[in-house]
Structure 1
Amino acid sequence: MPHDVDLIILLAIGFGLALVFGYLAARLRLPPLVGYLIAGIIISPNTPGMVGDVSLANQLAELGVMFLMFGVGMHFSLKDLLEVKRIALPGAILQITVATLLGITVSMLWGWPFGSALVFGLCLSCASTVVLLKALGDKGLLSSVNGKIAVGWLLVEDLMMVIVLVLLPAISVLLGGKHIDTHGPQHAIWLTILITLLKVSGFIAFMLIIGKRLIPAIMQFVARLGSRELFTLTVVACAVSIAYGAYAVFGVSMALGAFFAGMVVKESDFCHRAEEETLPLREIFAILFFVSVGMLFDPHILIEKPLHILAVVAIIVAGKTIAAMALVLFFRYPLNTALTVGASLAQIGEFSFILAALGISLGLLTTEAQNLILAGALFSITLNSFMFTAIEPVQQWIRGRSSLARLLERSSDPLAMLPDAVDQNYLRDQVVMIGYGEVGRRITQKLIEQHIKVVIAEENREIVEDLRDKDIAAVCGVATEPSVLIQAHIQHARLVVISPMDILDIHRIVDISKQLNPAIEVLLCAENKEEAEVIRTDDVGQVFYAKEQMAINMSQYILKHIDAAHQKGH
C-alpha cells in the first residue's frame, strides 16, 4: 500500500471502529469514549490484525490535545468557580494531594524511583472533564448546586494540571528525568525553572493584555461579513495559531496556549457561537485523541500485572472517592453532595493521558506505567456511570442504618439555623424563597426594595454566608427536608417561591409546606413550557416561566403603546 494514503487509512479505520464501539458503549450506557479507546486498542501494534500508523496517530493526538485544551478553556468559568471557591479550591488541592500520595506510596512499593512515582500519582489524581460533563448532563445535575461544586472542583484540578504541565519539563532533571535542553548546562536547574516561569508569565500577560482585546476584535470583524465558514475558520485559526505561537515564541506547551486561547474566546461576545460552531470539529479531534491513546495500550498488562491494575483502580475509584466525600462532609455539605462529588471524581481521563505522554517524553515514566494509567482510565470510566446510578440507593442505605450519617450532614451547623439576631416578629407573613439563583436573586432584590420580609433557603453554603453578611435572613440546606423549611419558619409564611428544580422535589417541598402551613400560597418557576404545563396539570401552585412572562410583558407594552398612539391621534 503506498505511504501517501496512510493518513486516509488511519482515519477510515479509526473513525469506523470508533463509530461501532462508541455505539456499543452508548447502548450499554457507558461513555462513548470507552468505545473510542477500545477502537484504538484494536488497531494498536500490540494487538493482532490491522495496525494503524502510530506516528501519524501521535500527530493527530497532538491536534486532539490542542482542541481538548481549547474546549477546557472555553468551559472555564471564573464566575462558576467563585460561587463554590470555599469548597472547590481547598477540596481539589487536598484531594489531588491525597490521590498523588496514594499513587506514590503504591508505586514506590513496586520499586519505582520517586520521580516516576510522583508523575504516576499525579496522573491518577485528575478526573476527566469530558466524562464529568457528560455524566452530570445525563443526570440533569449540571445546573444543580452539587453539579456546580463538582465542576468547580474539576476546574481547580484542571488549573493545577496546567501548572504541572508547565513546570514538569523544568524540574524533570531533579526528578531523575531528561534535561529539557540537552545542549545547556545540567546544573542550572533553578535558572531553567526561573526562565520557564518568566516565559509563562510573559505569555499569560500577552494573552490578558493584547490577546483579550485583539481576538474578540478579529471575531467581531469577521462576524460582520456574515460568513459562517469564515467565522468557524477564525476560531480554529485562533486556537491552533495561539497554541503554536505559545510554543514557538514563548517556549511553553501548545496545550497551555490552546487553553488560554479558549479562555480568551470565552470572554468575547461571540463565545456561544464560537463554541457551537467549533463543537463538531473539537469532538472529531477528541475522538482521534482517544483512539490514538488506545493505540498506545498493551492489553498484555492485564495478564502480566493484574494486581497492579487492581491497585490503580482502587486508588481512582475508592481512594479518590472517599477522600473527596470526607472533604465535602468536613465543609458541612450534605451527604448527597458528598456522594455526587465523590462519584464525579472517581475516574481519570484526558489530562492523565497528556501528563503520562509528557512523563514518557521526559524519561520519567515507562510504557508499563502508561499502560497501568490507560487500564485505570478504561476501568474507572466504565464504572463511573454505575457509581452515579448508585448515589440514591447508597444514600438511602446509609441514612437508614447510620444515625452518624444524619449527624454528619447537619450536626451543630450554624448555617442550618437562622441567626438569633433575626427578630421573631420578622418571621411572620414573610416570603420564603427556595433557591437563590438568577430568578431568586432578582425577586429577592425587588421584595427588599419594597420592604417585604423574605427568608432564603439555599443549598450553597457560600451563598448563605454572603447573604448573612448582607443581613438577609437565610438558612442553608436542602428544602426537601422538613427541618430546613421549619428553620425558614414556613409555618408562619405568607408565600413560598420555588426556583426551577426537579418535579419530584417540587412536590416534596409543596407537600411539606402545606402540611406545616395549609394556608400558604405557592409560586413556582418553570424552566420551559412543557415543565410549566406538567406543574399546572398537577395543580400545586401558580406557575411562571420566562418566555411566557416575556410574551405577556411585551404584549402589554405593545397594546399600551398602540393605545397611546390612538389617543394621540384623536
Structure 2
Amino acid sequence: MEHNIPLITTIAAGFGMALILGFIAERLKVPALVGYLVAGILIGPATPGFVADVHIASQLSEIGVMLLMFGVGLHFSLADLMAVKRIAIPGAVVQMTLATLLGMALSWWWDWSWSAGLIFGLSLSCASTVVLLKALEARGVLDTMNGRIAVGWLVVEDLATVLVLVLLPPLAGVLGGAPAMEGAAPLWRTIGQTLLGVSAFIALMLIVGRRALPWMLWQVARTGSRELFTLAVVASAIGIAYGASALFNVSFALGAFFAGMVMRESEFSHRAAHESLPLRDAFSVLFFVSVGMLFEPAILVQAPAHVLGVVAIIIVGKAMAALVLVVALRYPLNTALTVAASLAQIGEFSFILAGLGLSLALLPTEGMSLVLAGALISMALNPLLFAGIVPLQRWLLEHSGLARRLEQRGDPYAELPVSTDNQFLHGQVVLVGYGRVGRRIAGALQERGIPFVVAEQNRELVEDLRNQGMAAVSGNATDPAVLVQAHIANAAMLVVATPDTLNVRQMVDTARTLNPSIEIVLRTHSEDELQLLRRDGIGTVFLGEEELARGMACHVLQRFEPPPKPAAAGHA
C-alpha cells in the first residue's frame, strides 16, 4: 500500500519527523530549521531505515521555494531599505564579494574548478532572512536601528542572490556546466533573451499586476469568504511563479518574489500575509526537509577539515568582514557586532543556489553536502553569537583601547551644528523618533511655527532632515548625551513618538534631572503599560487604539447629534 501513495507517505513522514525534531531544536534554544534539516537527513537515502521519495520531495520543495519567496516579497519594503541604504547596499555588496572570494580560495585549495568555487562561494555569502528575523524578534530588537540595518543588509543580499539565480542558467554553458537552455544560440543572445524575458515580466507585473492583483483581491474580499481569499492569495503566488517560468523563462523564485512585492501594494497586504502564513510555513518546512534529504552525513567523517573550513568562512570570515565594514562606516560598536552576528549563518537562499548549481552540473555533490553542513552548524551556533554580543562588547571596551576610541569617536550628526538658530535652543519641543507618528507631529509643529529638535537613531534620516533645514541629532535618546545635544535643559516639552516603552523611563529620568519643569508626552501600544505609566505619573500618555476609537466615536456621534433648536420668537 505504501508504494502506491508515495506523495502521502512523503508528506506524512516529512511533517511528522519535522514536528518532533523541530520541537526538540526549539527546546534546545536552536532554530527549528535545524530540526527540519535533521528530519530530512533521517528520512533521506543517506541514512538507514525509511526513505522518502526524493523526486516528490523535490517537487514539494519547489512549492516551498515559491511560497518562501512570496513571503519575502510580501514583506519587502523599498522604503525600509532606502532608510538604511548608505550602509546596507555597500556593506552587503562588499561582504558578499569577500565571502565569495574566500569560498573560491578554499575550493581552489581543494582542486575544484573555478566555476564550482564561484557557486560554492556565492552559496556561503548569503545569510538566512528567516533565521535573522526570528533571532531579532526573540530579542525584541527587530524594530530598533540595529535591527533595521541588519534586515536591510539581508534584503540587499536577497536581491543580489535573485539576480544570480536569474543569470546562472544561461551562463551555465560558459561556466563549464550543463546549459539549462538549448546551447545552439550564442552566449550573448542567450543572456540577452533571458534579461529581456525578466524585464518583460517585471514590466508586466509593475504595470498590469499592481493594478490587477489588488482589484482581484478586492473582488474576492467582497464575497466575505475567508477560504476564497486565502485561495486567491496562494493561487496568485504559485500561478504567477509558474506563469513567469513558462512564458518568460523566469525562475519560480523570482516570479513568486514579484508576486509578493506587487501584492504588498494592495491595502489587503497584511491580510494576505496573515492568511497565507500557515500554508507558507507548512511548505517551507517541506523545503527544508527536502534539502536535508540531499545531505551526506558521511562528509563529517570523511572531510572534517573541509567542514571546519566552511564553518570558519561563515562564522568568522563573514562576521569579521561585516564588523570591519560597519565600523569603517562610522557606526557604533554595538551595531557592528549585531550585524556581524546576523550574517554569521547561511540558510534558504544558499540551498536554492547550491541546488541550482548541482542541477546545472556546476557544483559537485560534495559541495552541496558542505553547504548543508555549514548551514546546520552555523544556524545551531547563531543564538550563542547573539547572546554573546553584550558581554563581548563589555569585554572589548574594558580591555581594548582601540574599541574605546571607536566607541567614543564623534558621530558627525550627534551634535547640532553651530549655525542652528537660537530659537531652537529655548522653549522648543524635543521630539524623539521620526517615524509615522513623529513625522505627523513634526508637520503640525512646522505649520504653527513651533520650534522643535528631532532626536533619531537613523543617521541617514537625520542627514536628510538637516538637508531640509530641520534641527536634528543622531543617537539613542536613552543616552543622556543625545538629550543634552537636543538642549533638553531649555526645552518646554519632551515628546516620545516611538513605542519603545522599555527605555522610556530612562529618557524621562534624564529629561527631568536636567529640566525638572519639562512636560512629558508619551505613546504606547499596550493598555497595561498605559495604566502603569499613568499611575506612576510619568507624563501624558496616549494609546493608539484609544485615540483611534475616540476620533471615530466623535465622527459617529456628530451624525446623530440632534439639530440645534430654533430660537424662540419674541413676544409682542
- Give the aligned length: 568
2:353 to 341, 352, 355: 355
Q: 1:393 to 1:533 in 2, by over 3 A?
A: farther
Q: Which amino acid aligns with 2:141?
A: L
Aligned counterparts, 1:26-105, within 5 A: 26-105=26-105
Aligned to 1:545: 543
Aligned to 1:126: 126
Q: Which amino acid aligns with 1:6?
A: P
Aligned to 1:421: 419
Please state if 1:200 is matched with 2:193: no
RMSD between aligned alpha carbons? 1.9
Q: 1:314 to 1:534 in 2, by over 3 A?
A: farther
Which range moves more in the overlay, 229-238 or 164-173?
A: 229-238
Distance 2:563 2:338 in 1: 57
Aligned to 1:263: 261
* TM-fit CA distance, 1:277: 1.0
Q: Which amino acid aligns with 1:292?
A: S
Per-residue CA deviation, residues 94-125 of structure 1 (Å, 9 max, x unaligned), is: 11111111111111112111101111111011
Aligned to 1:223: 221
Q: Which amino acid aligns with 1:353?
A: F
Is the contact made by 1:528 and 1:547 (CA closer than 8 Å) also made in structure 2? no
Distance 1:154 1:81 in 2: 10
Distance 1:436 1:406 in 2: 29
Q: Secondary structure at the match of 2:563?
A: helix
Q: Secondary structure at the match of 2:503?
A: helix
Q: Secondary structure at the match of 1:343?
A: helix
Aligned to 1:115: 115
Q: 1:294 to 1:555 in 2, by over 3 A?
A: same
* TM-fit CA distance, 1:379: 0.8
Q: Secondary structure at the match of 1:162?
A: helix
* TM-fit CA distance, 1:537: 3.8
Is the contact made by 1:103 and 1:117 (CA closer than 8 Å) also made in structure 2? yes
Aligned counterparts, 1:424-439, within 5 A: 424-439=422-437
Q: 1:490 to 1:246 in 2, by over 3 A?
A: same
Please state if 1:163 is matched with 2:163: yes
Q: Which amino acid aligns with 1:261?
A: A
Q: 1:367 to 1:53 in 2, by over 3 A?
A: same
Is the contact made by 1:332 and 1:409 (CA closer than 8 Å) also made in structure 2? no
* TM-fit CA distance, 1:476: 0.6
Q: 1:517 to 1:357 in 2, by over 3 A?
A: same
Distance 1:29 1:182 in 2: 48
Aligned to 2:452: 454
Q: Which amino acid aligns with 1:218?
A: M
Per-residue CA deviation, residues 260-303 of structure 1 (Å, 9 max, x unaligned), is: 11112111222111111111111110000001111111111111
Distance 2:509 2:527 in 1: 23
* TM-fit CA distance, 1:131: 1.0
Q: Secondary structure at the match of 1:433?
A: strand
Aligned to 2:317: 319
Q: 1:406 to 1:439 in 2, by over 3 A?
A: farther
Q: 1:279 to 1:519 in 2, by over 3 A?
A: same
Is the contact made by 2:88 and 2:149 (CA closer than 8 Å) also made in structure 1? yes
* TM-fit CA distance, 1:343: 1.5
Distance 2:476 2:208 in 1: 45
Aligned counterparts, 1:18-29, within 5 A: 18-29=18-29
1:307 to 305, 308, 318: 305
Per-residue CA deviation, residues 508-549 of structure 1 (Å, 9 max, x unaligned), is: 222222222222222211122122223234433221121122
Q: Secondary structure at the match of 2:434?
A: coil
Distance 2:4 2:175 in 1: 41
Aligned to 1:443: 441
Q: Which amino acid aligns with 1:51?
A: V
Is the contact made by 2:2 and 2:9 (CA closer than 8 Å) also made in structure 1? no
Distance 1:549 1:370 in 2: 54
* TM-fit CA distance, 1:430: 1.2
Q: Which amino acid aligns with 1:170?
A: P
Q: Which amino acid aligns with 1:505?
A: N
* TM-fit CA distance, 1:347: 1.0
Q: Which amino acid aligns with 2:533?
A: I
Q: Secondary structure at the match of 1:496?
A: strand
Aligned counterparts, 1:451-530, within 5 A: 451-530=449-528
Q: Which amino acid aligns with 1:197?
A: L
Distance 2:282 2:91 in 1: 33
Per-residue CA deviation, residues 329-387 of structure 1 (Å, 9 max, x unaligned), is: 22222222222222211111110000001001111101110011001111111111122
* TM-fit CA distance, 1:413: 2.6
Is the contact made by 1:359 and 1:365 (CA closer than 8 Å) also made in structure 2? yes
Q: Which amino acid aligns with 1:139?
A: R
Please state if 1:7 is matched with 2:10: no
Distance 2:402 2:52 in 1: 55
Per-residue CA deviation, residues 43-73 of structure 1 (Å, 9 max, x unaligned), is: 1110111111111111111111111111111
* TM-fit CA distance, 1:140: 1.7
Distance 1:197 1:560 in 2: 58
Please state if 1:405 is matched with 2:403: yes
Aligned to 1:140: 140
* TM-fit CA distance, 1:311: 1.4
Is the contact made by 1:332 and 1:410 (CA closer than 8 Å) also made in structure 2? no
* TM-fit CA distance, 1:425: 4.5
Q: Secondary structure at the match of 1:200?
A: helix
Per-residue CA deviation, residues 210-230 of structure 1 (Å, 9 max, x unaligned), is: 222222222222222222212
Q: Which amino acid aligns with 1:72?
A: V
Is the contact made by 2:22 and 2:36 (CA closer than 8 Å) also made in structure 1? yes
Please state if 1:282 is matched with 2:280: yes
* TM-fit CA distance, 1:568: 6.2
Is the contact made by 1:329 and 1:409 (CA closer than 8 Å) also made in structure 2? no
TM-score by length of 2: 0.95
Q: 1:564 to 1:387 in 2, by over 3 A?
A: farther
Is the contact made by 2:498 and 2:523 (CA closer than 8 Å) also made in structure 1? yes
Q: 1:542 to 1:548 in 2, by over 3 A?
A: same
Is the contact made by 2:501 and 2:524 (CA closer than 8 Å) also made in structure 1? no
Which range moves more in the overlay, 77-86 or 397-406?
A: 397-406
Q: 1:75 to 1:553 in 2, by over 3 A?
A: closer
Distance 2:407 2:476 in 1: 11
* TM-fit CA distance, 1:77: 0.9
1:242 to 234, 240, 243: 240
Q: Which amino acid aligns with 1:339?
A: L
Is the contact made by 1:215 and 1:265 (CA closer than 8 Å) also made in structure 2? yes
Distance 2:343 2:304 in 1: 23
Aligned to 1:536: 534
Distance 1:506 1:474 in 2: 19
* TM-fit CA distance, 1:147: 1.4
Q: Which amino acid aligns with 1:313?
A: V
Aligned to 1:392: 390
Distance 1:5 1:568 in 2: 81
TM-score by length of 1: 0.95
Q: Secondary structure at the match of 1:319?
A: helix
